[in-house]
Structure 1
Amino acid sequence: MSHTPITPDVESLFTRSDHYHNSHLIKPDPILESVQQNTKDKGIDYEIAVSPAQGKFLHLLLLSIGAKRVLEVGSLGGYSAIWMARALPDDGELVALELEPVHAQAIQENVAHAGLSSKIKVIVGPAHQSMKSLHPTQPFDLAFIDADKQNNTNYFIEAKRLVKRGGVIIVDNVGRKGRLADPDNHEASVEGTRELLRYIKDDAEVEGTTIHTVGEKGFDGFLFAFRK
Structure 2
Amino acid sequence: MDASAPVLLPPRLSLILRPVPRRRRFTIATVARFGGLTTAQALQFAEGYVAEDLVLQTARTLAREVGLDPVAPSTGAALRLLAAASSARAVVEIGTGTGVSGVWLLRGMRADGVLTTIDLENEHQRIARRIFVEAGFASSRTRIITGRALDVLPRLADGVYDMIFVDADPAEYGACVDAALRLLRPGGVLALNGALAGGRIADPAARDLETVTIREVIKAVREADEWIPALLPAGEGLLAAVKRG
With the shorter chain as reference, the TM-score category is 0.7 to 0.9
Query: 5 Å matches for 1:1-228?
Result: 13=41, 16-18=44-46, 21-22=48-49, 25-26=50-51, 29-41=53-65, 43-45=66-68, 48-116=69-137, 117-135=139-157, 139-213=160-234, 217=235, 220-228=236-244
Higher helix content, 1 or 2:
1
Q: Indicate the structure whose relative CO is greater, using CA pairs within 8 Å and at least 6 residues apart.
A: 1
- Aligned AA (1:81): G
Q: Which moved more, 1:109-118 or 1:121-130?
A: 109-118
Q: Distance in 2 between matches of 1:34 and 1:181?
A: 34
What displacement does 1:76 show?
1.2
List per-residue Cα deviations over 1:86-117 (Å, max 9, x = no partner).
Answer: 22233210111112222222212222222322
Secondary structure (helix, strand or coil) at the match of 2:108 reads coil
Structure 1 position 208, deviation (Å): 1.4
C-alpha displacement of 1:85: 0.8
Structure 1 Cα separation of the partners of residues 169 and 91 of structure 2:
19
> What is the Cα deviation at residue 18 of structure 1?
4.2
Aligned to 2:67, the other structure's residue is in SS state coil
Query: Cα gap change, 1:92/1:176 in structure 2, threshold over 3 Å: closer, same or farther?
Result: same
Task: Output the TM-score relative to the length of structure 1.
Answer: 0.80
Provide the residue aligned with 2:5 in structure 1. none
Q: Given that residues 229 and 242 in structure 2 are in contact (C-alpha distance below 8 angstroms), is that contact kept between their aligned partners in structure 1?
A: yes
CA distance in 2, matches of 1:141, 1:14: 32
Measure how far apart 1:177 and its partner are: 4.1
More deviation, 78-87/127-136? 127-136
Q: Tell me how far apart the structure 1 counterparts of residues 39 and 169 of structure 2 sit (CA, whole Å).
A: 24
State the AA in 2 paired with 1:153.
G
Deviation (angstroms), 1:145 = 1.0
* CA–CA distance in structure 2, aligned partners of residues 123 and 50 of structure 1: 20
Contact 2:75/2:238 (<8 A) preserved: no
**Contact 2:164/2:189 (<8 A) preserved:** yes
Q: Secondary structure at the match of 1:225?
A: strand
**Equivalent residue for 1:7?**
none
Following the alignment from structure 1 to structure 2, what is the Cα–Cα distance between the partners of residues 82 and 16? 22
Tell whether the 8 Å contact from 1:148 to 1:189 is kept in structure 2 after alignment: no
* Letter in structure 2 aligned against 1:64: A
Name segments (4+ residues, structure 1) moved above 3 Å.
10-16, 37-41
Matched with 1:6 is none
Name the aligned partner's letter for residue 129 of structure 1: D
Q: Distance in 2 between matches of 1:89 and 1:182?
A: 40
TM-score (norm 2): 0.75
Query: Structure 2 vs 1, CA of residues 84 and 139 (structure 1 numbering), >3 Å: closer, same or farther?
Result: same
The 10-residue stretch of structure 1 (123-132 or 32-41) with the greater mean CA deviation from structure 2: 32-41
Partner of 1:4: none
User: Cα distance, 1:11 vs. partner?
Assistant: 9.4
* Percent identity between the two aligned chains: 25
> How far 1:202 moved relative to its partner?
4.1
